[in-house]
Structure formats: structure tokens, C-alpha cells
Structure 1
């Protein structure tokens, strides 16, 4: 039921002149899903208060509650089409009254960790792009059919929402910003092993995949008490995200995973001066896939002791500084970081090796990230002691990874098992830091077993990829024409 509703929503948005891509479909369904969720949350809290003989104070005024403006109902629970706004009236109400009203909550909220603040911040960033009020009416009624009442319903919705984010990653020109393969994230979380009471941080949150998977990991722990659950809700997961669309999606993704008021801040993490980070600002666990390839301006680079325009290198400095002593990190970065000879790369490797124990490097195969033609590695490190030995694992799934053949949990099972003991195998080995070049500090993935095993692709796989790339190019050209 949910899956068909999402498909129908996308079909309607595809026909609307204001929505031109998968990114727009996800953005527009996200803000409507959020308001539907907020209404369900308010109804639940009002019922709880009533059962306790108390009066619930609604966040939203009556005119702006879902059941009044979006889907007014008759006494038998059906949508009252005589009272429901439609066409230009609906579109104008949303654009001129609803969204400005919701945006104003940011200034009225008592603190940034409240649902009121999140409401205000989301609707300061989001705009209704659905130009036809008739299309908007259809989408609203489909969203109204979605239910958040049980954990099973929330679980199903969260999986479908993850699928939408994955589709954004596949369709968007910057897909890696929105979607890190979830099997990879789950493996990283299992290695770093956050515990209840530790604070988990992602300063390049994207769609909050790392925080959601860390929440699922901790939520599955046995015998959690009320205090543990409250800690997970309010004092465990923290993130920052620069881009408006990713910020909104991150909030919605965490809500669907079960966190009512996510601690995600909409900000440019790199605008923060590294010297301003104090002990109270540090975290026990950092999990992230920072954007790479970007070029930061000179004024942003001034916030960092190692000056570089490479965004990922600035983020790595931020993460090292933001970890508590004894804290643990799992960070995705381009594999060229391990071997580049420019001053910034060498200086950053030196800092990492001196301030942290870089105990594990997971070398990922090409195709791990859809649409990103770069090789990547995952750095696992503990802060507080220098590195003495690095264990490398070269992931070789035995097939060519692609959109139709993505990374899966089984691909990472051997890595997770071998990493527990830093075992030497055909795919894994250890290197003493004393044996690396002290000048270049080259940490390249150089297997003593004869290099990486590469799976040869079949002619069909090659043709399928060519067809997929042609389709992406055609879609991009169509999108460009629509903007002209």
C-alpha cells in the first residue's frame, strides 16, 4: 500500500511543471510527509494527555493543522470535498499563509532541540514547487492515506523513504551527497560500535544515513530502559548539514526512523574555526562520508591549520579536532588521500598518525558509490595515541558493482569477521608505521599478495551500463531544456 502511494505521488509530481527531477519529488513529498507526521504526533500526545486528565497544548493553531487545511473530514471520517481547498485557493494558502506561518516558529522556539524549532527551520528552507493546486490536492490526499501509528508502519515508511533517497543518489548529478550505501554504513557502525550514553556525530550529515543506522544499531540492544530510550531520543545523535534539501531530508529520515526532534543543525560546518572547538563540543563517536572534490574559499580555509581547498581534507581536520580523547571515528575518503604528495596531504596524514591510532583501512572497490567514479577507502581510528600498525582490507566482492548490482551486507561479512582480530589473509595484511617512508608518509593500499583481484565484466553488463549512462544523459539534457 505505502509503496504504491509513493509511486502515485511521484507520477503526479512528474506531470507538474514545477517539479523537474527525482530531487524535487523527494523534496516536495518530504515537507508534506513532515506535516502529516506532525499531525499524527500531536494527535497521539493529545490522546495521552486526555487519558491522564490533562489538556494538551497544540504546537499549531487550529487553522494550520493537517486535518483542517489539508484534509477536512466529515463526521464519518471521509474527506469533506466541499470544505477542502483546491486549485489556486489551495496553492495560494500554502504559499502565502501556511509556509510563512510555519517558518515563524524558528524565532519563537525556546531552543534548537525542540520540534517547534525544526518546524521553523524546515519551512525557512523549503518552498512549495507544486504549481498546480489540483496536483497538490491529489498529492495531499495520497499522503493522508499514509499512517505513522505503529512501529511496523514507521519501519515500512522509513524503508520506502530510504529507497527514495537512493533513487535521488542514482538520478542526481551529485548522488554521493545524498546516499552512502547502507550496507557500508552498517559495517562502519559495527566496527566503531557506539554504546548507549556516547554522543554520535556527523558533521556532513547528508540524508543522515549514518545517524539513522547508528540509531537502529543502538535501538536493537536488549533490555533498554526508559532512561536509555530517552537518551537515544535527545542526547545521542548530532549532525550538521549545509545544503537545504539534504537538511530537510535528514530531518524527515530521522523522524521516520523514530527520533522525534532530530539534533540536526542547518549550517556550514567548515565555517567554524577549529580553534573554537572546546572539550564540551567534542564527541565519543564520529561517522561520516564528507563531500570530496569541492573547493572551499580562502576565507573558509583560514579556519584550519592545514590550508587546502579539498573539502574532505578540511572535514577530516574538523573530525579529528571534534573527537574526545579515546573517541572513535569511521570516515569515508578518497583513496588518493593515502598517497598524494602535496604538502596538505602529507601534513594531514602526519596529524592523523600522530594524534590517532589509524588501526584499519578498508579499501573499497570501484562502483561502491553510484555515479561517483572515484576510488574510496574507510579510515577507522581512535583518538589519543599514535598509530603503530595499520591493518588493510581490500574488499573484492567478485563481481562488478553497479546500479543493478550494488554492494550488499554479505559482501562485507568477511571484512567484519577478519577485522575483529586484524587477521592476515589473501585480502588483508598489516603494515608497521616504522616501515613507511618518514618523509612522504605514504599509506597506499599495496597488497603483499599481488594486488587487487578484479572481476571481469560480461559483455551484457557493459552494454547495460552503457544503456543506463545514455538514459541518464538523456534525462539530464531534458532537464536542461526545461530550464531554458
Structure 2
């Protein structure tokens, strides 16, 4: 969640739209996204032009010589009426240009066909562009934070359990899964494509240009996949991925758990935060999903969907509400037993209940599993995350150094810190510890084997989970040591109370005198 000056700047843009007569929240979000998209297109073009001049690195221009008026650097310098005409012109203006971006007949171009100007006033457009120009969005996180903040304002946000995932939690999940250039990645509850964008950023960071060029076609067309049934969100997700270098993201318009989605055995990695409290009409559910868990609850159906969509050996990291971990209903037990007994459950990471504040205090966990079709769960790693680097109240203020949090160093370089400083960091920011400990699970002699149930992380064997009716709640297995507290005898306490009472009476007499 954004705070401080950036929040004030976005609120000012919001207020400008509102006072200009635009009451629809989704329209404001979409129009602001178009403007950020237009601004980014020009900034990308400018960087490519500089690279061509300095290094003679060839590139394919986005704007031809007749489209220079569509570049942000030129738009911001125009007078109010000239700029407005470019936005309002539905034949030769900037929106017809946006609708032509992307390869012909690609899904990106299909989703962008609905892009249009909502015809707010020329003065409103002028003020919004002026305010947007003042925001420093050189950091990709800033754009993401703006999206998240604006989307949090959507009417009814959270009513279907569709809470926006905090970016640092998304990054942690990506870091845990370590996507590769060979992966085919999916988010079946796409939203703004936050998980896919984070996966793309991870891949860019961990591979050089030569490697990326080798897989360019895969990256542009088949690596990144998602489903979303809101056409507006599909456009926002498509633009978000396009701006991160994915030219033809494979994001489709479909209700993920419905009969219309027949994708199976397609992906090697799934990253998701599916809706928590949604339900779907029984007649609409894909039949195969109900064979795994006979329910209409979306949080269970999505897990069944992921098992169907993963290739054998494919992995998933998914945020689920705590109820999925310990629910006593038949549908809850069946999905848990399916994952634990018939596939390989690797980890259950309990998240602090304030993660989704200020929108919800719902308790959640991340479950990580691999599709095997023949079991394989031996020991499940449990981690009790108690601090995510932010306060767990509605303000969600940073508790650690902003550089450590924003750069998402995950404790890189903490070896140089004293033991006391490492402990101080960990007390406020568990994410580095989660990633470092999870990485050791690949080793046969992982130190996690020796961790006691009283510690923050530990292993639980398959048989114990089975004996506990497939319960995956960390509280079922965690041992709590209670310190013995000694109290004074009751007569001693009463004597002290009487003494205090006498002193109070004496003081009152002095005051009265």
C-alpha cells in the first residue's frame, strides 16, 4: 500500500476525475492506466533511441513519423484543446493507435480493441496529465503500487474475497519458486497480472541479454498465461505485461473454474491468490473439478483446477484462507488429502493476519506443492511468519529500512551484520529467513530437520498429517512453551490493596483540608 507523498499525489488525481464529473471508479482506474501506459510507451521509445545512438543497438519503433504527437513528451507540451482533440478523435487519435498495438490477431490486440476515451472534460485531462507528470514512476514498483492503490478503491473491493496481493508477498513467492526460462507460468486468477509481472522481473534479473533473446519467442507468446472474466481487468493486465516486455501475453477471457475453461496439463508453474469467499453455480462448474472436491467454494475449486492445469512435475505456490487448512467439511478434507496423499505438498507458510490490511484481517497461508500423480509427500515444512516488514494495523507502516524492503534484498549481506542486528531485522522482517530456510529443503541434510516444534519453522512427517485427518494448520503441530508464573499469596495481595486504600483515604483528607 502506498503512503506519504505518492498517496497524496494519486488521491489528487482521483479527486480531479471525481470533481470533473467522472463518478465511475472502474472508469477512473482504466483511464489512469491508459495514461500510465502512454507515458511508459514514450519512455521506452526514448530509452531505445538513446541505446541506438550510443551503441547502435537496433530496435523496432513504436511510433512512426506520423504518430509523434502521440508521444507523452509531446502531449504534455500541447495546449489544452489540441491535446484533448488527439484523445477524443476516435478515427485518427491516440486511442485508435493504442488499439493497433500488438501483433495482429494476438490476444493483446483483442483485449485492447475495447480501449476508449471516456470523454471527460479537456480541463480534467490537462490537470490529470500535469499531476501524473509530477509522479516519479522510474521504479516499476511505483507503477504497481499505484495500480494496487487505485484498484483498492473499486466499489465492492474484497466483497468476493478478491483482495489485492501485497507486492512484497508476490515477490517472496516468486523468489521461493525461482521461475526459469523453460517454465510456462500461469495465474488463473489474473487480476492486474502482478504475479506474472513479478515472474518476468525475476527472469530478467537472473539472465543476461543473450539468454533472454534465445527465449524471446517463448517469453512473448507462451511463457505467461492467465484467466480473468473482467474485460477491463484483462486490458489492465495486458498493458501491465506489455510494459514489462511481454508483447503477446496469453491472457484469456474466461471464468477459470467454469466449463468454458478446458485447459489441462499445460503449465509448469502456477502462482496465484484466488478469490477466498466466492461461490459458483453448480451447473457452471467444470465436471472434473467436482470429482476432486465436491463444492461450489472458489477457494477449493481453484486448487482442483491447478492440479488439472499443471503438467506432471509442475509446481504451484498459492495463497489460501486458513479455513482451507483445517476446515472439517468433506470438500475441505478431500482437496487436502488429494494434495498431500496423491501429490507432493512441500510447504505451508502461515502469514500474519494483518497482511491484507486495511482491506481485510483475514488469516491466510501460502501452500507450495508439486503435481506428481503418485504421491511423494514425506515431510511438510511449516513456517510461522510473524512479521512481514510492515505494521499489521490498518496503516501498514514500514518497520525496516526502506532500501532493504523496496530492493527486496531478502537479507542479502546480512552475514556482515552482527548477530544482534540480524536478530533485530528478523523480528520485524521474516521474509529473508523464509527464503533462506526454504532453499535448504533441497539439501538432503537440511538444518530444518533438527528444528524443534517450538521454533518458527519445522518439519512434520506425512503419517502425522494423515493421522490428524489431513489438518494443515500450523497450530495443530506447533508446540508452545508456557513460562511458569508465580503469584503472591491472596492474603498478601489483599494486604497491599488495603494499604493502598488507606493511603488514598489519607490523601483525600489532605485535599479536603
| Coarse TM-score class (shorter-chain normalised) | 0.7 to 0.9
C-alpha distance 48-265 of structure 1, shift in aligned 2 (>3 A):
farther
Q: TM-score, normalised by structure 1?
A: 0.74
1:417 aligns with 2:415: no
For residues 339 and 328 of structure 2, the distance between their equivalents in structure 1, rounded to whole angstroms, comes to: 15
C-alpha distance 417-68 of structure 1, shift in aligned 2 (>3 A):
closer
- Asked whether the 8 Å contact 1:196–1:228 carries over to 2, the reply is no
Residue among 386, 398, 416 paired with 1:396:
386
- Asked whether the 8 Å contact 1:285–1:327 carries over to 2, the reply is yes
For residues 310 and 109 of structure 2, the distance between their equivalents in structure 1, rounded to whole angstroms, comes to: 30
1:200 aligns with 2:229: no
Residue among 295, 307, 315 paired with 1:328:
315
Deviation string, structure 1 residues 302-348 (Cα, Å, up to 9, x no partner): 43223321112111111111111111110101111121122211221
For residues 93 and 187 of structure 2, the distance between their equivalents in structure 1, rounded to whole angstroms, comes to: 32
For structure 2, the 5+ residue unaligned runs are: 399-404, 411-428, 441-445, 483-513
Residue among 9, 31, 35 paired with 1:32:
35
2:22 corresponds to which residue? 18
For residues 351 and 17 of structure 1, the distance between their equivalents in structure 2, rounded to whole angstroms, comes to: 52
**C-alpha displacement at 1:198, in angstroms?**
1.3
Question: SS state of the match for residue 358, structure 1?
Answer: strand
Deviation string, structure 1 residues 194-224 (Cα, Å, up to 9, x no partner): 1122111111111211111111212111544
For residues 481 and 351 of structure 2, the distance between their equivalents in structure 1, rounded to whole angstroms, comes to: 13
2:170 corresponds to which residue? 185
C-alpha distance 190-103 of structure 1, shift in aligned 2 (>3 A):
closer
C-alpha distance 84-69 of structure 1, shift in aligned 2 (>3 A):
farther
Question: SS state of the match for residue 84, structure 1?
Answer: helix
For structure 1, the 5+ residue unaligned runs are: 148-152, 453-484
Residue among 251, 260, 284 paired with 2:268:
284
2:89 corresponds to which residue? 93
- Asked whether the 8 Å contact 1:46–1:56 carries over to 2, the reply is no
- Asked whether the 8 Å contact 1:69–1:84 carries over to 2, the reply is no
Residue among 91, 114, 121 paired with 1:132:
121
Residue among 50, 66, 69 paired with 1:67:
69
1:352 aligns with 2:350: no
Question: SS state of the match for residue 443, structure 1?
Answer: coil
Q: Which has the higher contact order (CA 8 A, sep 6+)?
A: 1
Deviation string, structure 1 residues 137-158 (Cα, Å, up to 9, x no partner): 4435666x589xxxxx8742x2
C-alpha distance 5-418 of structure 1, shift in aligned 2 (>3 A):
closer
Question: Which range moves more in the overlay, 349-358 or 218-227?
Answer: 218-227
Question: SS state of the match for residue 391, structure 1?
Answer: strand
Question: Which range moves more in the overlay, 438-447 or 333-342?
Answer: 438-447
Question: Which has the greater radius of gyration?
Answer: 2
- Asked whether the 8 Å contact 2:163–2:356 carries over to 1, the reply is no
For residues 177 and 61 of structure 1, the distance between their equivalents in structure 2, rounded to whole angstroms, comes to: 43
1:475 corresponds to which residue? none
Deviation string, structure 1 residues 107-165 (Cα, Å, up to 9, x no partner): x96432xxxx52441342x554453232124435666x589xxxxx8742x22211212
1:468 corresponds to which residue? none
**C-alpha displacement at 1:80, in angstroms?**
4.7
Residue among 184, 200, 208 paired with 1:215:
200
- Asked whether the 8 Å contact 1:100–1:123 carries over to 2, the reply is no
- Asked whether the 8 Å contact 1:331–1:378 carries over to 2, the reply is yes
2:144 corresponds to which residue? 162
C-alpha distance 60-315 of structure 1, shift in aligned 2 (>3 A):
farther
**C-alpha displacement at 1:364, in angstroms?**
1.0
1:366 aligns with 2:353: yes
1:299 aligns with 2:283: yes
For residues 213 and 55 of structure 1, the distance between their equivalents in structure 2, rounded to whole angstroms, comes to: 25
For residues 123 and 346 of structure 2, the distance between their equivalents in structure 1, rounded to whole angstroms, comes to: 57
Q: TM-score, normalised by structure 2?
A: 0.70
- Asked whether the 8 Å contact 1:71–1:141 carries over to 2, the reply is no
C-alpha distance 174-228 of structure 1, shift in aligned 2 (>3 A):
farther
**C-alpha displacement at 1:36, in angstroms?**
4.3
1:84 aligns with 2:79: no
For residues 180 and 33 of structure 1, the distance between their equivalents in structure 2, rounded to whole angstroms, comes to: 21
Question: SS state of the match for residue 390, structure 1?
Answer: strand
Question: SS state of the match for residue 252, structure 1?
Answer: helix
Q: State the superposition RMSD in angstroms.
A: 4.1
Question: SS state of the match for residue 296, structure 1?
Answer: coil
1:378 corresponds to which residue? 366
How many equivalent residue pairs? 426
For residues 104 and 257 of structure 1, the distance between their equivalents in structure 2, rounded to whole angstroms, comes to: 18
For residues 118 and 223 of structure 1, the distance between their equivalents in structure 2, rounded to whole angstroms, comes to: 26
Residue among 219, 225, 233 paired with 1:238:
225
- Asked whether the 8 Å contact 2:22–2:28 carries over to 1, the reply is no
- Asked whether the 8 Å contact 2:258–2:286 carries over to 1, the reply is no
C-alpha distance 224-82 of structure 1, shift in aligned 2 (>3 A):
closer
C-alpha distance 97-373 of structure 1, shift in aligned 2 (>3 A):
farther
For residues 82 and 342 of structure 1, the distance between their equivalents in structure 2, rounded to whole angstroms, comes to: 61
1:449 aligns with 2:479: yes
